[in-house]
Amino acid sequence: MESLQDVIHRTWGYDTLRPLQAEAMQAVVDGRDSVVVLPTGGGKSLCFQAPALIMEGTAVVVSPLIALMHDQVDGLVDAGVPAAYVNSTLSPDERRRTANEVRSGRVKLLYLSPERLTTERTLEFLAEVRPSFFAVDEAHCISEWGHDFRPDYRLLSVLKERFPETAVHAYTATATEQVRRDIVRELHLRAPAIHVGSFDRPNLVYRVERRSDRSAQIRAVVERHPDDSGVVYCIRRADVEEVCAQLVEQGHKALPYHAGLADEVRRRNQDAFQRDRAKIIVATVAFGMGIDKSDVRYVVHAGAPKSLESYQQESGRAGRDGLEAECVLFYSDNDFRTWRTLQQDLPPQALAGAMALLQGIEGYCRGVDCRHRALVEYFGQRLAGEKCGACDMCLDEAEFVDDSLQTAQKILSCVVRLRESFGGDYTAQVLVGSKEQRIVEKGHHKLSTFGLLQEHDKRQVRDWIEQLVGQGCLVKGGEYGVLQLTPDGRDVLSGTYSPRLLKAAVRSGRGERGRVRKESKSGKESWEGVDRGLFDALRAWRRTRADERGLPPFIIFGDAVLRDLARYRPSTQEALMQIKGIGQKKRGEYGAELLQAIIAHCRENGLGTDVQEM
């Protein structure tokens, strides 16, 4: 029997495994039920695909969406793996043919939707062919606590009843304990091995900015990535239409995606994005699980999402190939109000939960600490090291007010003078010295803190108040958001703790507030030694080949492979074998062409080939 290592090398061209892949595969080979939680891009598919190849029989993979099934099977077949799916897109004839192939033992991986898998007919068929194991992909769909609950997933409890001897393995990127417990319970897993990976995505650069000029701010991100694929998420459909139209007007190839569009239009737009015919998709959260495009280089949120869970999911669609990618969140106070309004009709218990989640994301937006740390800690994990080198805070891009402590003290003492009985708006007005009627009526124009920040704009002061809430110096109480000091707030007043207040977002023409963007470590490394001209040439070649074959380009080769080719510039088959991520079948199929393209480009541009280790 071929070893796992050999099969992975031969088929996928990988020499090393990602964290927990080895452990996850071991559980499959041992036939022990398992739950594997790895972040998006962590490499979950390999955990069941590789063992399926060395085990006897056919592995059955449960997948929630036809689009996902198609991409995975296309990718496998292109790598020379006998894989198939059965779903409504097949004719009865094709279905019969596939069934026969499975019976003959040729198919190593069979993809099915949960509703098809659990029909009596399919169950009987599988009893006959005896699957090597079941792999349940996107397993969080089984939990009401997940963000993609699918009632059909509940039917999967029948697997352990009908196939008590066959192992069931569940895979998800959803981190919460609750979801994990639901998966184990609903699938009736027996003493499963549980592997939970780190939720940090070091290749993603996180940035958060207060929204001032939406169009200009989004444009700035898009123009930092002229030839790359990106996703822009909006809260509402109307925003999708507007942002999309603006991008198109600015000359970018953008398409909209939201639940208000006809199925056909949505499918077409998603397809154009998958196939690199449209570079940008502007979408509501309706655009989600169906995309497994690995080379999304940026995800912009034009408005704050409703929770950090959602943010992790949506931003996580960037950089699945492990290469650097950027996640930018633009928020305004209005976004949080919008979410409160949109969710106000939830039943009381759900409402309380939703409001707590909203506070999580609000804290993230207004926070001034490392974004990677904030995210990972929210999900109950720890981040090693002081500075991540991949967020606006650690890259020192954010500009803080010089005398943050003094400014904060002025604000907090005003809250105290107002007897902790007023909200943010009112407090800001007192601080900037407004002689509004109600202030005069209450005699607050005589307070010592009246007009203490009169040289600043009211919006700016209001913003600092929110930042102090975000940093835990103030809390908002009751229906009217009355400001109250926390113990940390008292430490600020006594000067033993200093918060950091961000400077205002200046409304500049480009919405960039003159910030310097710095490249992250992973960004620098992944481009080191890469000839961009050759990379672009190879990308164009990939696009042509993909079009000919009717496949999304990233299925032929990921960006990581193209960058390595443009870095090491192999000119012989032996040298080509050293490039990670090209398996045997693809080397046979595309190798000669690649070598030709590389040699020609290097000759024309006077570049050396066969670069040794850098």
Q: Which residues here bind ligand ADP, judged by CB under 6 A? A: 14, 16-18, 21, 38, 40-46, 292, 294, 320-322, 558
Angle subtended at Cα 542 by Cα 4 and Cα 277, rounded to the nearest 5 degrees = 120
| Torsion sign (Cα): 37, 146, 210, 360 | negative
Binding site for Zn ion (CB under 5 A): 370, 372, 388, 391, 394
Query: Which of 146/256 has CB closer to ligand ADP?
Result: 146
- Please choose, from the candidates 364, 344, 355, 396, the residue with its C-alpha nearest in 3D space to the C-alpha of residue 469: 364
Partner whose footprint covers residue 370, from ligand ADP, Zn ion, none (CB < 5 to 8 Å by kind): Zn ion
DSSP state of 316: T
Rg value, the chain, Cα: 27
Q: By C-beta, is 20 or 300 nearer to ligand ADP? A: 20
Q: Measuring CA to CA, which residue among 98, 88, 351, 335 is closest to residue 234?
A: 335
Show the 3-state SS of 154-170: HHHHHHHHHCCCCCEEE
Closest CB to ligand ADP among residues 43, 499: 43
DSSP notation for 119-144: SHHHHHHHHHH--S-EEETTGGGG-T
Taking the least distance from each CB to Zn ion, the nearer of 324 and 531 is 324
Number of other residues whose CB lies within 10 A of the CB of residue 446: 9
The amino acid sitting at 300 is V
Nearer to Zn ion, 202 or 472 (CB): 202
Cα torsion angle, 568, 569, 575, 576, sign: positive
Using the Cα atoms of residue 550, residue 553, residue 554 and residue 557 in order, give the sign of their dihedral: positive
Distance of CA 574 to the CA centre of its chain: 36
Residue 394 binding target from ligand ADP, Zn ion, none, CB below 5 to 8 Å by type? Zn ion
Separation CA 275–CA 175 (nearest Å) = 30
User: What is the identity of the amino acid at 475?
Assistant: V
Let me know if 335 is exposed, middle or buried by CB neighbors in 10 A (0-12, 13-18, 19+). Answer: buried
Per partner kind, with CB cut-offs from 5 to 8 A, the member of Zn ion, ligand ADP, none near residue 40 is ligand ADP
Q: Which is nearer to ligand ADP, 416 or 560 (CB)?
A: 560
For residues 260 and 237, what is the distance between their CA atoms, to the nearest angstrom?
Answer: 7
Distance CA 204, CA 328 (A): 10
Closest CA to 538 of 566, 517, 512: 566
Which of residues 40 and 315 has its CB atom nearest to ligand ADP in the complex?
Answer: 40
For residue 379, what are the β-bridge partners? none
**Binder of residue 570, out of Zn ion, ligand ADP, none (CB less than 5 to 8 A by kind):** none
Q: Of 14 and 378, which has the nearer Cβ to ligand ADP?
A: 14
Beta-bridge partners for 231: 281, 299
**Do 76 and 69 form a contact (C-beta atoms < 8 A)?**
no
Minimum CB distance to Zn ion smaller for 445 or for 515: 515
Q: Find which of ligand ADP, Zn ion, none residue 391 binds, CB within 5 to 8 Å per kind.
A: Zn ion
What's the min distance (Å) between Cβ of 551 and ligand ADP? 14
Q: Considering the complex, what minimum distance in angstroms separates the CB of residue 580 from ligand ADP?
A: 6
Q: Smaller CB distance to Zn ion: residue 169 or 301?
A: 301
